[in-house]
Structure 1
Amino acid sequence: MRPSISDVAKHAGVSTATVSRVLNGSNSIRPHTRDKVQQAIDELGYTLPENNNAPKLFGNKLVMVLVPNIDNPFYSGIVKGIESTAKENGYAVILTNTQGESSLEKHYLDLLKQKQVSGVISLTPMMTQQTLPDEIQKLPWISCSEYNPESPVPYVSINHKQAAKDAVLYLVSKGHERVALVTSDSNYLYAQQREEGYRSALQDAGIPINEDYIQAMGDIDFPLGELAARRLLTQPEPPTAIFAVADMLAIGVMKAVYQMGKEIPKDIAVIGFDDLPLASMFIPSLTTIRQPTLDMGKTAMKMLMKKMAGEDVTSQIIHHTLMVRSSAK
């Protein structure tokens, strides 16, 4: 006999309502409780029943978008693009905040297999996507921004390595040889590729790479940019320019620079990445790499519709732009 939700609840020592909330991706469940429920699901081999009659409010026109951190403003542009194209074609979009948890992704994969949703667009980290089974390639699932390069799952993204290289070479063209990197978490493919671009630019320019100039902060929170800048600017020979892999880090860098009594770009140049709306609002305005997030979202939704129609889908790389502003002139 296949296990039921009641069996999972009993095995985990929680209520059936708690199991249901975990299965529905609710953020109200404590991580410890979610882990217990997920362990029970794995140990019992529970899956959604084939005859699951959960109401399909939009028939077979419901698309799920998996976002690793809904607080990150970068994702809003992509989601707007997805929603715009979805609405034009009669689809509804449901947003889920995965917080980088692979167990939630596997649950949403079950929903897709059970046809509770028509398709999935995933914005989650590469390392999370690597835990998904190979069968995902046969399902209507598209990766956007982040993707697993070893997976056949179609994706839309930019050339992160080349974009970072463009940013650093621009700094070099302005006479900077002591260029620092503020990066985030290597679990993200973009962080890996942007660091590769940073290193490649310096190598091409014949500038030795100073490992002390590379600050890996683990995330892109604003205070981490501040901390990274303080570490860099208190070195015996501080950098004259800083390239941050995200605008939020770059803005934190700029705050620390000013608090330390230095001027941008006179004393130190700063370049970010993403071109969030905040980037052009600061004084000085932030030089940054623009990702065409709206187009990325629209393209991802168009690719998903083709996949849902059984058509072959090819991955796409969309062009980036270096937005030169006051922080690095």
Structure 2
Amino acid sequence: MITTKDIAERLGISVSTVGRALSDDARISEETKFRVRQAASEMGYVGNRAARMMRGASSNVVALVIPDIRNSFYSTIAHELSKNMEAEGFQLMLSETDDDRMVELRHLRELSANRVAGVIIVPTARPHGDSIKLLRGLPHLQLLRRHPSLGSQWFGVDDHESLREATAHLVAQGHTRIAYLGGPTELPTGAERLRGFHSALSEAGLPDDAGRTELGPPSSVEYGREAVRRLLEGPDAPTALVLGSIQLTLGVLEELSEQGVQVPGELSVVGFGDEPGFSWWGPGLTTIGLPIQEMATGCALWLMRRLKTKPENDGPYTSVSPGSLVLRGSTAPPDGKAPSSSA
């Protein structure tokens, strides 16, 4: 590895002069700075950022802490954030927790020890107390999920309204037996999505037993398959299904295809997220589109402003982006009946 000593020996100057030239010290002439930088480039010198940070320089690394990179929502967010960060001279580092709060804590300890510039986090349901303390010492914001102990800077989706609208669409089609498959209510996103589902049923005047629910790990494709198998058993199986996560949607679509369930003839389906393949799955999947680019841009702009202005205290900031119901061919009136005129 090329060091400042190697550059100094090549140019016949002191190591301290090389260091000052590379840090743009005003005491070093422009001519010497040019010679040092040219030699450093030719020799393949890479600066030691950790050492510069010990001398007071700031990091240019921002960490994105997410549950599962296999979820296309998170991978797309990471891609969009990376582009936005790069444009501002920052680098994005990815950290995956698998929704395990102890893994989350270990990652946050490492990130704090390496003095990252900031953190964008999709928190676990119950962050460890030490995770909360570590984040208090770092510029950070919450993405998608919001935990009250982690501060009041949050970028999210209007989960309640998104699921209310999706369920209301099925009600308007004439469905009275509708099931919801989503994440657990200990996650704020899961609680809000379930609340939106029930809100639509209540607004339509449907009885409590009109809606069945299956709640489980939102990142598990296999759970989606198992849950839809249970829902379709028996004479009172739902005629419509609304989903509350991308991975669960993938599992449900795999299972329905394998069983040969006719969509929307036997079952109407509203998915969650809008994967590239959803538009050509079966009759085309009606689904809840997510404002990924809008959220990523908003997160990046807010954090970049925070890192550049370095305010003493961050005031509360909340950005709630609406989802959108993307209508395709996977929903229709039950048994081919036309929806009522009141719908």
The secondary structure found in structure 1 opposite 2:303 is helix
1:282 shift after superposition: 1.2
Equivalent position of 2:318 in the other structure:
315
CA distance in 1, matches of 2:304, 2:177: 47
Do the aligned partners of residues 234 and 114 (structure 1) sit closer, same or farther apart at CA in structure 2, a change above 3 Å counting? closer
1:275 shift after superposition: 1.4
Equivalent position of 1:160 in the other structure:
159
CA contact (8 A) 1:156 1:296 kept: yes
1:95 pairs with 2:106: no
Does 167-176 or 124-133 show the bigger shift?
A: 124-133
Equivalent position of 1:215 in the other structure:
214
Do the aligned partners of residues 212 and 296 (structure 1) sit closer, same or farther apart at CA in structure 2, a change above 3 Å counting? closer
1:242 pairs with 2:218: no
How do residues 131-170 of structure 1 correspond to structure 2 at under 5 angstroms? 132-133=131-132, 136-137=135-136, 139-149=138-148, 151-170=150-169
Deviations 1:238-284 (A, max 9, x none): 11000111233233323433444431011110011121223223122
CA distance in 2, matches of 1:131, 1:319: 33
1:328 pairs with 2:331: yes
- The one-letter amino acid of 1:60's match is S
TM-score (norm 2): 0.73
The secondary structure found in structure 2 opposite 1:317 is strand
CA distance in 2, matches of 1:129, 1:77: 27
CA contact (8 A) 1:61 1:92 kept: yes
- The one-letter amino acid of 2:201's match is L
- The one-letter amino acid of 2:331's match is A
Equivalent position of 1:38 in the other structure:
none
The secondary structure found in structure 1 opposite 2:162 is helix
Equivalent position of 2:122 in the other structure:
123
Does 274-283 or 156-165 show the bigger shift?
A: 274-283
The secondary structure found in structure 1 opposite 2:119 is strand
1:75 pairs with 2:78: no
- The one-letter amino acid of 2:155's match is V
CA contact (8 A) 1:179 1:240 kept: yes
Largest Rg, 1 or 2: 2
Deviations 1:128-172 (A, max 9, x none): 377733573563101111121464330101110111001000110
Do the aligned partners of residues 106 and 259 (structure 1) sit closer, same or farther apart at CA in structure 2, a change above 3 Å counting? closer
The share of aligned pairs that are identical, in percent, is 26
CA distance in 2, matches of 1:253, 1:115: 41
CA distance in 1, matches of 2:117, 2:257: 50
The secondary structure found in structure 2 opposite 1:87 is helix
How do residues 179-190 of structure 1 correspond to structure 2 at under 5 angstroms? 179-190=178-189
For structure 2, list consecutive stretches of 5 or more residues without a partner in the other structure.
1-48, 333-343
CA distance in 2, matches of 1:162, 1:73: 22
CA contact (8 A) 1:146 1:190 kept: yes
- The one-letter amino acid of 2:88's match is N
1:307 shift after superposition: 2.3
TM-score (norm 1): 0.76
Deviations 1:23-45 (A, max 9, x none): xxxxxxxxxxxxxxxxxxxxxxx
CA contact (8 A) 2:102 2:128 kept: no
Do the aligned partners of residues 265 and 77 (structure 1) sit closer, same or farther apart at CA in structure 2, a change above 3 Å counting? same
How many corresponding residue pairs? 277
1:67 shift after superposition: 1.5
Equivalent position of 2:290 in the other structure:
291
Kindly report the root-mean-square deviation, in angstroms, between the aligned alpha carbons of the 2 structures. 2.6
CA contact (8 A) 1:247 1:279 kept: no
Equivalent position of 1:35 in the other structure:
none
1:175 shift after superposition: 0.6
For structure 1, list consecutive stretches of 5 or more residues without a partner in the other structure.
1-51
The secondary structure found in structure 2 opposite 1:282 is coil
1:300 pairs with 2:299: yes
